[in-house]
């Protein structure tokens, strides 16, 4: 069974950092583009970043460019999102999704909540 | 960024009746490879989004055939032929043609 499980969310102060993880199982992780998408409480969806199978290509939406870094470890079947300089508006549930990403991702995790507040 | 405009934003439907959601993009979604990367997602209350339709009209595995997608260029539609209780939730269109990928505002489907 294809499964994506996010972890690492929590409460962080403005200006702080957090690293999210997404553990993949049930498929050959190294052969898929992966992505992070977020959803602010009670709001819609925002696609944040994509990463190619070997990590050689990465794309970011402007709202997180320079602050967030997407990465992966194919040996550990894991996707990561390093989030720095966090702001209140980064408060959201963060989902990882499996590519092909132009198709929006055919499998999403259950999400992990990040709350940025003092 | 490409703006995805959905309508209506709220859709009360009677069980067993059809429902239709419109999605319009601010630019053509035809990609250079000839494909149109317009996708539809369902988000049931308290759950993660689930993809229903990819590339305009292709149903994902396990998606009931009462769901169908159509359209071209900048104008797209998701139809539910007969709404069932389990269809309650928010539906999003999403484009994967122009970076950054963008979603519509969402359409909340509820039972009358």
Which residue among A59, A95, A104 places its CB closest to the CB of B99? Answer: A59
Of the pLDDT bands very low, low, confident and very high (cuts 50, 70, 90), residue A101 is confident
Q: How far apart are CA A31 and CA A22, in angstroms?
A: 16
CB contact A27 to B (< 8 Å): no
Token representation of residue B34: 């000839």
- Compute the mean pLDDT over every residue in chain A, rounded to the nearest whole number: 97
Strand (E) or helix (H) holding A72: strand A68-73
Which of B108, B98, B95, B97 has the alpha carbon at shortest distance from B24?
Answer: B95
Question: For A52-99, what is each residue's pLDDT tens digit?
Answer: 999 999 999 999 999 999 999 999 999 999 999 999 999 999 999 998
Burial of B45 (0-12, 13-18, 19+ CB in 10 A): exposed
Q: How far apart are CA B63 and CA B91, in angstroms?
A: 14
Residues 30-69 of A with CB under 8 A from B: 37, 44-47, 59, 61-62
B83: closest CA of chain A, how far (Å)? 23
Q: In this complex, do B101 and A110 lie within 8 Å of one another by their Cβ atoms?
A: no
CB atoms within 10 A of CB B109: 20
pLDDT of residue B102: 97
Binned average pLDDT, 10 residues per bin, chain B of 112 residues:
98 98 98 96 97 97 97 98 98 97 98 96
């Amino acid at each position: 069974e294809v499964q994506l499980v996010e972890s690492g969310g929590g409460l962080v102060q403005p200006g702080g950092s957090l690293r999210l993880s997404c553990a993949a199982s049930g498929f050959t992780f190294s052969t898929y583009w992966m992505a992070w998408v977020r959803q602010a409480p009670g709001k819609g969806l925002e696609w944040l970043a994509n990463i190619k199978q070997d990590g050689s290509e990465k794309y970011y939406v402007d709202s997180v460019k320079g602050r967030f870094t997407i990465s992966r470890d194919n040996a550990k079947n894991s996707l990561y999102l390093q989030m720095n300089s966090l702001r209140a508006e980064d408060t959201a549930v963060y989902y990882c999704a499996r590519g092909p990403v132009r198709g929006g991702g055919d499998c999403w995790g259950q999400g992990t909540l990040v709350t940025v507040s003092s | 960024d490409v703006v995805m405009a959905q309508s209506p934003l709220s859709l009360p439907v009677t069980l067993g009746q059809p429902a239709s959601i419109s999605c319009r993009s601010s630019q053509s979604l035809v990609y250079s490879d000839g494909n149109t990367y317009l996708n539809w997602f369902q988000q049931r209350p308290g759950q993660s989004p689930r993809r229903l339709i990819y590339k305009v009209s292709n149903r994902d595995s396990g998606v009931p055939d009462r769901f169908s997608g159509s359209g071209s260029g900048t104008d797209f539609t998701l139809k539910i032929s007969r709404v069932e209780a389990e269809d309650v939730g928010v539906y999003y269109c999403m484009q994967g043609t122009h970076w950054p990928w963008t979603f519509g505002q969402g359409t909340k489907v509820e039972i009358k």
